[in-house]
Structure 1
Amino acid sequence: MYRTQEKVATSFLVDDANDLIASHHDLIASYRDALEKARSDQLGRLFQALLEDHRADITRLSAVVNEHGGEPTEKPDAGQLTARLRVIFGNLLSEAGMVRAMLTGENKLLQEYTRAIRNLVDSRGLAAALEANRLATQTRIARLEVAIGMD
């Protein structure tokens, strides 16, 4: 019976971590769109750096998924289209509009991490990965907020 409960908890953990990974893939796709539309080199460099930061977050979460016997997802969530449309429409207004669209996506991800940490199951490596990724998300948000002021 104990093994069954442990496996159930592990499958929930893997599913939750994969949901976060899919959200990172969503934002990577949005950053790629934003990179194509960025007019300034400075903004392009920022978007590229933030995209790479998401890849590091995926790597951290993927290690936890692998450690718990799961397979990390390699595709975005169904919500990707909405995030990408925000970037496209944001670009029609200005580069600041595009940055605001990315900021909206990052804020949603921060909420996902806050919820995951609140519902945390104490398991190998998960707490550290969630905290590190939440901090990285907060840093990306701060960098985007500064970028809005540059437009």
Structure 2
Amino acid sequence: MNWLVVDEILKKAIKVGGAENHRFNLSDGILIKDNHISAAGGITEAVLKVRQNTSFVRKIEVEVENLKQLKESMEAKVDIIMLDNMNIETMKKAVEIINKSALIEAAGNVNLETVKAIAETGVDYISSGMMTHSAKALDISMKNLKIINS
């Protein structure tokens, strides 16, 4: 099966299940991740480069791993701050510090056991890659397949 078709089926399944895809492809949004931050020389520099090379109507999201990066993202006035792999206590502090000045997304280590506690921190969005990176494979046997000649 074509991987593009599989991707579309997964996206449809997510929607039918009551969740939402935050992006359909990489051009749907600007997400500055750790490797971009490192290459640019910091969050401030990465955000500046993005702003110099994109339309003012595009939202900018920055992935942060600690409160120092969070504060730098806030100083850069990003639209969305992704709290990546933070523990619950740090997430609560982050939500308090942001104080509605940006949208907040929680990601990393999100599963059925952690999602309720994450939601209770006050984040706006919770992202989980489990549907794509941890999906169980369906084992279909071809032993009983009959070939029909036409």
TM normalised by structure 2 equals 0.26
More strand by share: 2
Higher relative contact order (CA 8 A, sep 6+): 1
More helix by share: 1
TM normalised by structure 1 equals 0.26
